[in-house]
């Protein structure tokens, strides 16, 4: 080649495009690897394998590295751009009129014209720095990567089915509220109904109220007022010392909710005022509004529309003035202030009637135009009134939901009170003042003044009714420990416990039960 022009001038662009291709292949390879690794992690968790096991972690890492390398190489080989594709891209990018494509097509041929064309093309490429060729990355490249990362993040937060280890319940060994018992091992967790993590702090009724308020689409001002009532009630319940005080607080909160609903509800006041009108159509409209009857509202106003369309000239203007004045007077008598959506809808209708009447008297419009304006005003009023009634109905429904949630809270309070104040009877866990404690083959008598006595079936009786957390919730200590003992004895008899662990557990419960044996 002349002037030092060689195929290297083409190769510099080829290297840049191949570099771009390597980056794309790496993105696709790593994206697929991350996605497959995420699915592997999810599968491991679903099959109840521990994700924290060192061997499992090593296998996951190796799997990720191998799949990344494999898929990156696969994309690199399968999608490697050819010289013809590179030439086409250079022609398009630098507007070379297919010079590079022609050069590549005839690169193995010789001849005066071929060599002249090749030299001319390479001269053009020699003048262009390789950095002028921009690297191209499609949006899909990054979408795939983001999707894979999202899937991987999800796999990390998916909970494993591996059962959480249940810790040993550890009461105070010196507690006088427990009697002697043999050294037990820890059994499977006994079935118990779900309990809140901390019964004293849980207000599920109030949580339901908050959920109802949050999920409602009523005006934010009303939601804020109801939320304030809920928060105030929660504080009062925490401060209350007796069930009576709690019930009084809940009843007052229900009254406060009724007050908020009444304040937002203007249909009764406005409907009652319209019913006092001398006009029969307005009376019907007032009745429909009071009842929240959207269909009745439409019927009354359509009836009014039909009447007005049958009037003309001065008679129509007089009738429009009469209705407008009646509506205005009713709104004033209702005591509902402007800004209320229902009042504003009726106020707008009255104003529209008054404007049309004035235009008729001034001969600014004819009867046809007047009828058109009246019909438009009535159609708008129907929609606005129905929308206002729908909103007031939503407020009423929300108020009932919140009050029902308060009643649920009261019911739960009553049940908690019964559970705490009641005197249980039954299967050997009952207590009498200064009584006797009897069991099957393990009879014991005495004046146990630190612990109340009772009849039992051989299981230890625990005088303490403290709640302890077992993994599924809070239960009375005396109920849980017997179940633990029974399970441990059973597993010990089946040689299901390693001897060294059995010794540790026996020493533990020796200390727990003051060294006494069952």
| Cβ-based neighbours of 264, under 8 Å, separated by 6 or more | 218, 219, 222, 392, 395
| Nearest CA among 310, 323, 311 for reference residue 278 | 323
Percent of the chain residues topping a pLDDT of 90:
37
What pLDDT, on a 0 to 100 scale, did the predictor assign at position 152? 86
What pLDDT, on a 0 to 100 scale, did the predictor assign at position 352? 95
**Phi and psi angles of residue 132, each rounded to the nearest 5 degrees, phi first:** -70, -15
- Look-up: residue for tokens 């009697």? 179
Token pair listed for 53 = 């096991």
State which residues of the chain have pLDDT below 50. Answer: 1-4, 163-201, 421-464, 515-518
What pLDDT, on a 0 to 100 scale, did the predictor assign at position 201? 46
Q: What is the distance between the alpha carbons of residues 53 and 66, in angstroms, rounded to a whole number? A: 20
What pLDDT, on a 0 to 100 scale, did the predictor assign at position 170? 45
What pLDDT, on a 0 to 100 scale, did the predictor assign at position 174? 44
Q: What is the pLDDT of residues 73-121, one digit of tens each?
A: 998 988 899 999 998 999 888 888 888 999 998 888 888 888 888 889 8
- Where b means 16+ CB within 10 Å and e means fewer, 262-290 reads eebbbbbbbbbbbbebebebbbbbbbbbb
3-state secondary structure of 176: coil
3-state secondary structure of 432: strand
What is the SS3 string spanning 444-488?
ECCCCCCCCECECCCCCCECCCCEEECCCCEEEHHHHHHHHHHHH
Q: What is the distance between the alpha carbons of residues 158 and 140, in angstroms, rounded to a whole number? A: 27
How many H-runs (helices) and E-runs (strands) does the chain carry?
Answer: 17, 2
Q: What is the distance between the alpha carbons of residues 179 and 420, in angstroms, rounded to a whole number? A: 22
User: What is the Cβ-side half-sphere exposure of residue 503, based on CA atoms within 13 angstroms?
Assistant: 2
- Where b means 16+ CB within 10 Å and e means fewer, 357-375 reads bebbeeeeeeeeebbebbe
């Amino acid at each position: 080649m002349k002037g030092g022009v060689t195929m290297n001038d083409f190769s510099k662009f080829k290297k840049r495009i191949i570099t771009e291709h390597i980056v794309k292949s790496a993105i696709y390879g790593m994206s697929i690897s991350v996605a497959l690794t995420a699915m592997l992690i999810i599968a491991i968790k679903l099959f109840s394998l521990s994700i924290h096991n060192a061997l499992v972690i090593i296998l996951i890492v190796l799997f990720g590295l191998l799949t990344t390398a494999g898929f990156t190489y696969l994309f690199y080989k399968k999608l490697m751009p050819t010289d013809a594709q590179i030439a086409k891209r250079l022609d398009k990018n630098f507007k070379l009129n297919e010079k590079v494509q022609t050069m590549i097509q005839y690169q193995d041929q010789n001849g005066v014209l071929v060599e002249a064309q090749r030299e001319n093309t390479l001269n053009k490429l020699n003048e262009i720095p390789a950095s002028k060729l921009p690297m191209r990355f499609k949006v899909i490249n990054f979408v795939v990567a983001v999707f894979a990362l999202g899937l991987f993040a999800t796999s990390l937060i998916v909970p494993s089915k591996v059962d959480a280890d249940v810790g040993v319940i550890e009461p105070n060994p010196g507690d006088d509220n427990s009697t002697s018992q043999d050294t037990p091992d820890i059994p499977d967790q006994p079935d118990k109904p779900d309990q809140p993590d901390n019964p004293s702090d849980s207000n599920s009724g109030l949580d339901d109220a908050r959920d109802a308020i949050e999920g409602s689409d009523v005006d934010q001002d009303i939601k804020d007022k109801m939320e304030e009532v809920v928060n105030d009630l929660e504080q009062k319940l925490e401060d209350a010392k007796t069930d009576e005080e709690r019930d009084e607080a809940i009843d007052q909160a229900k009254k406060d909710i009724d007050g908020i609903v009444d304040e937002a509800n203007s249909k009764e006041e406005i409907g009652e005022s319209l019913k006092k009108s001398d006009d029969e159509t307005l009376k019907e409209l007032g009745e429909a509004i009071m009842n929240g009857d959207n269909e009745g509202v439409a019927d009354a106003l359509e009836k009014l529309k039909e009447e007005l369309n049958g009037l003309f000239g001065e008679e129509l203007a007089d009738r429009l003035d009469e209705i407008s004045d009646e509506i205005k007077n009713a709104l004033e008598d209702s005591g509902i202030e402007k800004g209320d959506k229902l009042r504003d809808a009726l106020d707008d209708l009255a104003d529209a009637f008054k404007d049309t009447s004035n235009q008729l008297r001034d001969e600014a419009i004819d009867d046809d135009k007047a009828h058109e304006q009246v019909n438009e005003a009535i159609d708008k009023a129907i929609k606005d009134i129905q929308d206002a009634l729908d909103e007031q109905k939503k407020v009423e429904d929300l108020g009932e939901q919140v009050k029902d949630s308060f009643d649920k809270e009261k019911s739960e309070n009553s049940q908690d009170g019964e559970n705490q104040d009641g005197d249980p009877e039954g299967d050997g866990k009952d207590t009498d003042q200064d009584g006797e404690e009897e069991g099957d083959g393990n009879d014991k008598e005495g004046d146990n003044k630190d612990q109340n006595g009772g009849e039992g079936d051989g299981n230890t009786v625990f005088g303490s009714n403290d709640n302890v957390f077992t993994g599924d919730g809070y239960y009375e200590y005396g109920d849980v420990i017997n179940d633990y003992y029974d399970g441990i004895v059973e597993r010990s008899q089946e040689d299901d416990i390693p001897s060294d662990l059995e010794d540790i557990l026996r020493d533990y419960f020796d200390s727990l039960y003051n060294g006494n044996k069952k």
